[in-house]
Amino acid sequence: MKNNYLESVKKQFAYYKMLGEKTFDQLEDKQIFWQTDPEANSIAIIVNHLWGNMKSRWTDFLSTDGEKTWRNRDLEFESVIKTRTELDEKWTDGWNCLFEALESINEDNFETEIYIRNQGHTVVEAINRQLAHYAYHIGQIVLIGRMLKGKEWKSLSIPKGESKGYNKEKFAKAKHKAHFTDEYLQKED
Contact 129, 116 (CB under 8 A): yes
- Could you read off the pLDDT of 155-174 as tens digits, one per residue? 998 888 999 998 888 899 88
Mean pLDDT, rounded, for 25-54: 97
Closest to 180 (Cα-Cα) out of 152, 157, 150, 148: 157
Q: What is the DSSP letter of 83?
A: S
Q: What is the pTM of this model?
A: 0.93
Whole-number Å distance between alpha carbons of 8 and 2: 10
Q: What is the pLDDT, as a whole number, of residue 26?
A: 98
Mean pLDDT, rounded, for 65-87: 97
Phi, psi angle pair for 104, to nearest 5°: -80, -10
- Could you read off the pLDDT of 91-150 as tens digits, one per residue? 999 999 999 999 999 999 999 999 999 999 999 999 999 999 999 999 999 999 999 999
Q: Taking the alpha carbons of 60, 63, 64, 70 in that order, is the dihedral positive or negative? A: negative
Q: What is the pLDDT, as a whole number, of residue 189?
A: 53
- Could you read off the pLDDT of 4-14 as tens digits, one per residue? 999 999 999 99
What are the residues facing 158 on neighbouring strands? none
Can you give the residue ranges of every domain in the chain?
2-157
Q: Give me the CATH code for the 2-157 domain, please.
A: 1.20.120.450
| pLDDT averaged over every residue in the chain | 94
Q: What is the pLDDT, as a whole number, of residue 163?
A: 92
Closest to 32 (Cα-Cα) out of 46, 15, 19: 46
Q: What is the DSSP letter of 4?
A: H
Q: What is the three-class DSSP state of 114? A: strand
Residue burial 143-161, b: 16+ Cβ < 10 Å; e: rest: ebbeebeeeeeeebeeeee
